[in-house]
Structure 1
Amino acid sequence: MSTSWNGAGGLELVTDPASVDAAAELGRGISLLRDVADGKRPPTLRLYRPSPTVAFGQRDARLPGFVDAGRAAADSGFAPLVRRAGGRAAAYHRGCLVIDHIEPAPDAVAGTHLRFAAFGNFFADVLAAVGIDAHVGEVPGEYCPGEFSVHGRRNGVPAIKLVGTAQRVIAGAWLFSSVVVVEDSRPLRSVLTDVYAALGLGWEPATAGAAEDLVPGVTVDAVQDALLAAYAAVLDLHAAPAEVASRPS
């Protein structure tokens, strides 16, 4: 994966505290992206455990059932938001880990496809480190389908999507955002079932799951530790100043 990164000066690690403001969580990534593009901060790796959210794609917002889908999400305790990057609706909560990798680039559009492939393989390796038989590729019927989704397998269990990825590029920088679903898949599967029904989109609920469904006992902490170890193995990773890391969104 390092061949798709700038990575010359390493990455500054920002670990955001828990929040109850899903919109601010989503918006903070864009704010960091702009700061990196403007040279106000170095290349950044941001980690956080999101509040319950259903992030709709731009195409979802144009469907007749969008209002009902948003209501269904809210009724299940998930904040309905429309994100600027990515495809169809995706759901996440505190049992997930969100990773925003942000780097400056003179031509941020160049390398988009390579980044999808490289990050997909990287996250498959991270999940393998916690005992999951992980692979890159779209699972037939998965929610928010993508060519470079990361899925997990176990004998006798259909493949389930574990990592969804998206990119946003602006002049001068790119943001690669990934959601790893680790714990407590039941509420995610339930809200996605209601949301996709309202949107009129077909999918297979059995494709929605979490890492712990395949390896009982695996935790968000364990996945985060494996992720940071994988990053540290390929580049310099240094913590952001405390006042930056803990700044409210």
Structure 2
Amino acid sequence: MDKASLPARLGAIDAAANVMTGDIVVPFAFDEVYGRQVGHGLLEPAVHLWRHERAFVLGSRDWKLPRVREAVQWLQGQGYSVTVRNSGGAAVPLDPGVVNLSLILPNRQGDLDVQRHFALMAELIRQSLKSRSCRIETGEVSGSYCPGEFDVSVRGKKFCGIAQRRQTRAVIVQAFVLVEGSGEARGKLVKAFYDLAAGGASAADHPIVEPARMSSLSELVGDMTAEDFVGLLTQQLASLSSLVPYSDCLRFELDGLQQAVDDCRRRYPVHV
């Protein structure tokens, strides 16, 4: 990874040590508002790390499935906080064994090179784990949930997916990393969601999930905790940029955060 790939200074917003509960829309709204301020030069670029106790995040395409509201109610009945993210991709379950990672970076207005930011995140994950595995690959894993060209896998088992949200002057590259627990169990949950939400829709309208194609890092490379992964990632970032603790960054203005939450709720009324 070239040092020029990341800004010289990067704010470190590390909330992963404390597993969040409550409305899953909040961390996505935070990224949205923080990204706007980065785009206007009011805040430094940042990395945002977080985990959630029990959540299920849909892609915008999932929201169009015929019985999606019934499937959302089924999830909520099991205690999942549900939202629809605006960064592309498809359904992803979150729990304490999943580390969520956002790179919030400035982007030149009119810059349409989407691939380089996907590649940046994939390479960051690969380099962070190079001491634990030399078999990390990038490329779509057929049968995985939230499939994409920049899936990150080991021996054909996906443990990381990447999506991005492009604003006028900023880009938010988001990754979920399965660190602990069973990838297959999460895959079974996503498959059950699609079985209910699809309601007879064409297979072309949603991913066909084969749960066994998902795995976690602890299953793939030996014992690894969320804390271990965050440590490896932070070391890699520190070798590429000057990491600035969040408390030392320019002050984040909360104005607009509640508005972003409310906007998402209106657009995707999953809260019933």
Query: TM-score by structure 2 length?
Result: 0.81
The correspondence for 2:69, drawn from 67, 70, 86, is 67
Distance in 1 (CA, whole Å) between partners of 2:158 and 2:230 is 18
2:165 and 2:171 in contact (8 A); partners too: yes
C-alpha separation between the residues in 1 aligned to 2:157 and 2:77?
25
Q: Percent identity?
A: 24
SS of the residue corresponding to residue 129 of structure 2 reads helix
Matched AA of 2:187: R
Aligned residue number for residue 12 of structure 2: 13
Could you tell me how far 1:187 is from its partner in structure 2?
Answer: 4.8
Q: Out of 198, 202, 212, which is 1:206 matched to?
A: 212
Distance 1:69 1:45, change over 3 A: same
Deviation of the 1:3 alpha carbon: 6.7
Partner of 2:240: 234
| Kept in 1: contact 2:185–2:211 (CA 8 A) | no
Rounded to whole Å, the distance in 2 between the matches of 1:87 and 1:4 is 27
Q: Against the structure 1 CA distance between its residues 6 and 227, is the aligned structure 2 distance closer, same or farther, given a 3 Å change threshold?
A: closer
- How many residues align? The count is 242
Is 1:160 aligned with 2:162? no
* Pair 1:173-2:179 in alignment: no
Partner of 1:141: 143
Rounded to whole Å, the distance in 2 between the matches of 1:116 and 1:124 is 12
Alignment gaps of 5+ in structure 2: 199-205, 259-272
Q: What letter matches 2:82 in structure 1?
A: P
How far did 1:214 drift? 1.4
Per-residue deviation at 1:130?
Answer: 2.9
Moved more, 44-53 or 16-25: 16-25
Amino acid at match of 1:58: S
Q: Does the 8 Å contact 1:132/1:211 carry over to 2?
A: no
Q: Partner letter of residue 229 of structure 2?
A: V
Report SS of the residue matched to 1:183: coil
Distance in 2 of aligned mates of 1:3 and 1:141: 34
- In structure 1, what residue type is equivalent to 2:55? T
Indicate how the Cα distance of structure 1 residues 137 and 107 shifts in structure 2: closer, same or farther if over 3 A, else same: same
1:226 is displaced (CA, Å) by 0.8
Q: Tell me what 1:156 maps to.
A: none
Alpha-carbon distance change, 108 to 234 in structure 1, aligned in 2, over 3 angstroms: farther
Shift in Å, 1:4? 6.9
Using the TM superposition, give the Cα deviation of residue 224 of structure 1 relative to its aligned residue in structure 2, in angstroms: 0.7
SS at 1:138's partner residue? coil
Q: Secondary structure at the match of 1:233?
A: helix
- The whole-number CA distance in structure 2 between the counterparts of 1:120 and 1:126 is 10
How far off its partner does 1:6 sit? 5.3
* Cα separation, partners in 2 of 1:194 and 1:72, compared to 1, 3 Å: farther
1:109–1:169: 8 Å Cα contact kept in structure 2?
no
Give the direction of change, closer, same or farther, for the CA distance of 1:108–1:36 in structure 2 (3 Å limit).
Answer: farther
Question: Higher mean Cα deviation, 45-54 or 128-137?
Answer: 128-137
Q: Once the 2 structures are TM-superposed, how far is the Cα of residue 129 of structure 1 from its aligned partner? A: 2.6
Letter in structure 2 aligned against 1:7: P
Question: Offset at 1:13?
Answer: 0.6
Post-superposition offset of 1:108: 6.2
Supply the distance in 2 between the matched residues of 1:93 and 1:66 (Cα, whole angstroms).
Answer: 21
